[in-house]
Amino acid sequence: MSSKKAVLQSICNNYEDLINVTRPHNAEYADKIGFDYILHKNLEVLGRSIFKHDRAPAWNKMYSIKYLFAKGYEQIFLLDGDAVVVDKEKNILDLKEGKEDKSIHICCDGLDKTLIHVNTGVIFIEKNKYTVQFIENVINTSKSLWHNTRNWEQNAIHEEFDKAEFLYTKIVQLYDSDYFNHNSDWVFHPCWVQDKENRTSAEKISLIKKKLKHPKQDVLKMG
């Protein structure tokens, strides 16, 4: 029996206008590569809450991964609400070729190619005892500061990686910042554009639409 796989987006209601742009493309991509497409809004499934917390919405994705692991999903391609698959001919599973020992695939944030400089808006993660514990450790961070302070769960992940660097060096595969994140022709994620309070930035939505219209061009250099 084949393992359960998901393309996951986990958002709050403030992303409604944005998810209407990214969801159709990400759902199409999921279908193309044989994954389920799963969208969690406010951590609800069929109208029922799966987790409750008093943290920033950025934390929702950690709880969603925990939930899907518990539901038997073995591979999860996490995409933030403002991340969209542009090149649907590429298969995220190809990252595993020659890297069977790696269970977390993630791009750097552009500052440095180290475990404490990753962007957590796009992650390919496989379930095993290490990644299940990883999610638990991040959720249960001792730094409550990150519950509602930027960069939220990303800072908690950086600290978890740093705390057990020996382990994570073995199971985490790092990629250049634009490989499948940020200003990428594969997965476009304009996370550098700050959202307005309680609503998505119109500039961000415009950039995403422009990238979808011109997938092979650097939209940051277009007029």
Tokens 């634009």 appear where? 178
- Beta 36-41 vs 4-11: how paired, if at all? parallel
Distance CA 76, CA 104 (A): 10
0.75 exceeded by pTM? yes
More confident residue, 145 or 13: 145
Strand runs (DSSP E) across 61-117, as ranges?
Answer: 73-79, 84-85, 104-108
Rounded alpha-carbon distances, angstroms, from residue 173 to 40, 125, 222: 26, 10, 32
Say what percent of the chain tops pLDDT 70. Answer: 96
| CATH top class, domain 4-221 | alpha beta
List residues bridging with 107 in a β-sheet: 175
Confidence of residue 196 (pLDDT cuts 50, 70, 90): low
Give the position of tokens 């199971």.
Answer: 171
Contact (CB, 8 A) for 156 and 97:
no
3-state SS class at 197: coil
In the chain, where the domains are located: 4-221
pLDDT digits (tens, 9 = 90+) for 38-97: 999 999 998 999 999 999 999 999 999 999 999 999 999 999 999 999 999 999 999 999
- Which amino acid is it at 122? V
Read off the pLDDT of residues 121-152 as tens digits, 9 standing for 90 and up. Answer: 999 999 999 999 999 999 999 999 999 999 99
Whether the per-residue pLDDT at 21 is higher than 70: the answer is yes
Give yes or no for residue 223 having a pLDDT over 80.
no
